[in-house]
Structure 1
């Protein structure tokens, strides 16, 4: 019997617990139907039902498809791919309510700035407001000048810092640059932070100052090359995440002194995932025979790819050691450039071990396991 056909008399005789079960059963058996706009996003843009539901909440005022259709046609006419359109609309659903005539001027101006293909569409997809903001072009011009006219760097800055186009230069950018300069960062260093991304410039001024102070407290001196690396590595990490990452290294027995020293040498270790850290630690200790003290002394080794460098090179050196009886120092072998590794280690053995080069190359490519 349908819940909605139950009479008051029937309900009165029904146990309250059963009523709750009926209500739950009724609601679970009647899935929520997507709104017309959500259906449009699913059918016309290829959104998943969940993504369509999220995006459509922002455009509930749209009750018909002419405007969205014209925007979609406009974007496709200008060579935007379906994935790019999905990204653009997901980032800024309001674009579907725009008059196409209002989008043309900015798109024309953006195309004249000089973005290399296909960066222009990527920049717009991740910064959709660039099609509507009256100040978008002047902001892009500011950053182009700041990055010394390097269009590739400009492209990376806007693809790695989603929403950078929304920041007012005088109110949202200039005070932050002044703060960074006060902490000893050069214009070149600041440009590096912008290009590396992590949403650095989207932080509030107070959050940015907290980050700079935290990096300094960890032992990075203002104005030093390490300070820039520290700021870049710690940017985007909340305090809880930072503590959790530090605890991972401590769980391997690293002392506070070893951890501080390792961070100053190679702050990027703080950005490695827990699975990444544990997999490399297991290999280095169990197969390569390293002590935790050695790894802490050479933390850069954790930055190398486990499967594309650490394991293949360890295999080569193990084979070489069996042949020559010569010992080798792990970090020196792992840190040398690929060309030098080939010239100094592999090629001199090509007559005695003709298959070594192919084995190493295939291992680096993931074709075989060594």
Structure 2
């Protein structure tokens, strides 16, 4: 596996990360992890309406946020959630911290405040945590209160404290206890922290049972490989690549690379695809061939499909039904099969867009703005743009200019309006007018249509 993938690696990337290899070796030589269960199974949706009302009334949540939370936890009376909120307030948590805790970990409402949560908070205080340290750390990673056992809670708490203190002081303190079998996760996460993995991702891994961060020798081996491959530890792709490399045997990945080669994908392109979307190596050979054959049914030639895979490796995971439904959506909107094939070649991500997304944007641009379908076929990346942030505000400006007879042609090219940055658009269609009253008017039209 490794030799095949590294075949496509750029020399500059190898040089960029060579120094990291030294850091990795030193880190693993120094560090020595933890595991535990969560608060229990997800609660059903019974009492969902009451839950929404309670979250809105008691914590000031928006209805949308409350409805989202109610899909993960629900209750029919306020006795238990009231007890949890009262306990947190007694321990000095601010309303902002409480809102953050419940948003991140709503199942805390299902815990027994006196029998489960209070003993854990008292234990953490007994370890010397100040009130401000306790509230900051627990509100940062509330799932700590869902763990069982003083030793596990203590170790997780220490880890979070180390990371927070390190971020404040720009250095890390190696003060965690050593010698336990449960230290693998902590040791591995500290190594990840040293290499630049963000606090948010570290804390997410800390409270998960991800196998690829609970190992020792296997983790170290996989970690070194991913670093050498050139992945940036500060990005989430680094962890995805680590999970993939950890979870697959070398012979298995060699077989997958071979499967792509048989379909016309060069080994160097497999590496580029892995850099874009590491998860694609998890697809089975059967799935790879199935997607290849389905794209042929959509009008793509065999020699064109490898470039589609390279541009958008995540499309390999699309089901046959989804791909065929996608073409039916485009055909139903008036595109020809040849035009769909062109769209898929230029912007293969369109295969994964929902029918509603494709219909809404196409109908708006074609029916309301009067751009011809052929322009969308030539510029399909428009389907990936936000209606609220880009398409609508810019089109509102164009409609205003057209109504005033200020455009030379009836309608400018679609790409001229939507492919540029906001700054370029404003310079091209708003700020270029001499009329001092018109420019503020157009700016207001643009701002009204834009939703951040």
Contact 2:192 2:233 in 1 (8 A): no
| Structure 1: segments with no counterpart, 5+ residues | 1-35, 53-64, 81-97
> Which residue matches 2:283?
203
Q: Distance in 2 between matches of 1:339 and 1:302?
A: 21
Secondary structure at the aligned position of 1:336 is classed as: coil
Instruction: State the Cα distance separating 1:300 from its structure 2 match.
Output: 2.5
Q: Distance in 1 between matches of 2:367 and 2:341?
A: 25
> Which residue matches 1:164?
244
> Which residue matches 1:237?
318
Secondary structure at the aligned position of 1:253 is classed as: coil
> Which residue matches 1:288?
369
Residues 186-215 of structure 1: per-residue CA shift (max 9 Å, x gap):
666444433544832222233234334545
Q: Distance in 2 between matches of 1:222 and 1:297?
A: 17
Instruction: State the Cα distance separating 1:282 from its structure 2 match.
Output: 2.2
> Which residue matches 2:40?
38
> Which residue matches 1:311?
392
Give the TM-score normalised by structure 1. 0.66
Q: Distance in 2 between matches of 1:317 and 1:206?
A: 48
Task: Quickly say closer, same or farther: Cα 1:248–1:149, change in 2 above 3 A.
Answer: closer
Contact 1:177 1:190 in 2 (8 A): yes
> Which residue matches 1:73?
154
Q: Distance in 1 between matches of 2:364 and 2:203?
A: 42
Task: Quickly say closer, same or farther: Cα 1:139–1:178, change in 2 above 3 A.
Answer: farther
Contact 2:291 2:318 in 1 (8 A): no
Task: Quickly say closer, same or farther: Cα 1:130–1:250, change in 2 above 3 A.
Answer: same
Contact 1:266 1:300 in 2 (8 A): yes
> Which residue matches 1:365?
451
Secondary structure at the aligned position of 1:324 is classed as: coil
Task: Quickly say closer, same or farther: Cα 1:346–1:127, change in 2 above 3 A.
Answer: farther
**Of 422, 426, 444, which residue of structure 2 is paired with 1:338?**
422
Task: Quickly say closer, same or farther: Cα 1:112–1:182, change in 2 above 3 A.
Answer: farther
Q: With CA pairs under 8 Å and 6+ residues apart, which has the higher RCO, 1 or 2? A: 2
Residues 46-89 of structure 1: per-residue CA shift (max 9 Å, x gap):
5649x99xxxxxxxxxxxx9965533432232129xxxxxxxxx
Q: Distance in 1 between matches of 2:330 and 2:280?
A: 25
Contact 1:127 1:163 in 2 (8 A): no
Contact 2:326 2:351 in 1 (8 A): yes
Task: Quickly say closer, same or farther: Cα 1:307–1:331, change in 2 above 3 A.
Answer: same
Check if 1:128 corresponds to 2:210.
yes
Task: Quickly say closer, same or farther: Cα 1:266–1:244, change in 2 above 3 A.
Answer: same
Give the TM-score normalised by structure 2. 0.55
Instruction: State the Cα distance separating 1:288 from its structure 2 match.
Output: 0.4
Instruction: State the Cα distance separating 1:256 from its structure 2 match.
Output: 1.8
**Count of aligned pairs between the two proteins:** 299
Secondary structure at the aligned position of 2:430 is classed as: helix
Root-mean-square deviation (Å): 4.0
| Structure 2: segments with no counterpart, 5+ residues | 1-37, 44-72, 74-83, 85-100, 112-145, 162-179
**Of 216, 228, 232, which residue of structure 2 is paired with 1:145?**
228
Contact 2:198 2:234 in 1 (8 A): yes
Q: Distance in 2 between matches of 1:324 and 1:68?
A: 71
Contact 1:248 1:274 in 2 (8 A): yes
**Of 433, 443, 447, which residue of structure 2 is paired with 1:349?**
433
Instruction: State the Cα distance separating 1:157 from its structure 2 match.
Output: 4.0
Contact 2:346 2:380 in 1 (8 A): yes
**Of 358, 363, 372, which residue of structure 2 is paired with 1:277?**
358
Contact 1:233 1:270 in 2 (8 A): no
Task: Quickly say closer, same or farther: Cα 1:206–1:269, change in 2 above 3 A.
Answer: same
